[in-house]
């Protein structure tokens, strides 16, 4: 599973990916994190551009706070564009807690691994909040 890391989660992603790796999950399930920089995607890209790029490239968007209002908000884009085959947007419920609370971070890891192990069953779900 390839996760496109929202631009405001770069530091969080390092900690999160480190937790995934240190728990040995990468030996069981291939999870890759990709940044906006790696895709030459401007950090001020609107939600429609980000969601469509993620879908086109078969990536799960990992976010914490994408917009909920406007014609190009993530919520509106998912309502208009989501189909049964669309990969979900995975939203971390509390990004700051991911950094500061090892138990919470562990629950986020478990939730993301569960999604990766059965990604097909999450297609079409639009948004999945972690930890579950």
pLDDT digits (tens, 9 = 90+) for 76-102: 999 999 999 999 999 999 999 999 999
Coil, strand, or helix at residue 115? Answer: helix
Q: Decide: pTM greater than 0.75.
A: yes
Give ∠ CA 48-49-51 in degrees, rounded to 5: 65
Q: With 90 as the cut, is the pLDDT of residue 125 above it?
A: yes
d(CA 2, CA 76): 23
Contact 64, 104 (CB under 8 A): no
pLDDT band at 30 (very low <50, low <70, confident <90, very high): very high
d(CA 132, CA 118): 14
Which residue did the predictor score with more confidence, 121 or 70? 121
Q: For residue 111, which of 86, 95, 89, 128 has the smallest C-alpha distance?
A: 128
Q: What per-residue confidence (pLDDT) applies to 81? A: 95
Mean pLDDT of 13-22: 97
Q: What per-residue confidence (pLDDT) applies to 67? A: 61
H/E segment holding residue 105:
helix 102-117
């Amino acid at each position: 599973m390839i996760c496109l890391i929202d631009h405001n989660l770069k530091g969080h992603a390092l900690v999160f990916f480190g937790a995934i790796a240190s728990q040995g999950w990468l030996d069981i399930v291939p999870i890759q994190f990709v940044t906006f920089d790696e895709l030459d995607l401007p950090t001020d890209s609107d939600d429609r551009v980000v969601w469509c790029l993620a879908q086109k490239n078969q990536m799960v968007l990992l976010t914490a706070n994408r917009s909920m209002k406007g014609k190009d908000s993530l919520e509106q884009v998912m309502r208009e564009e989501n189909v049964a085959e669309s990969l979900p947007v995975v939203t971390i419920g509390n990004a700051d807690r991911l950094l500061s609370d090892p138990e919470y971070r562990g629950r986020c890891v478990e939730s993301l691994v569960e999604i990766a192990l059965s990604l097909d069953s999450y297609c079409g779900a639009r948004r999945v909040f972690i930890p579950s």
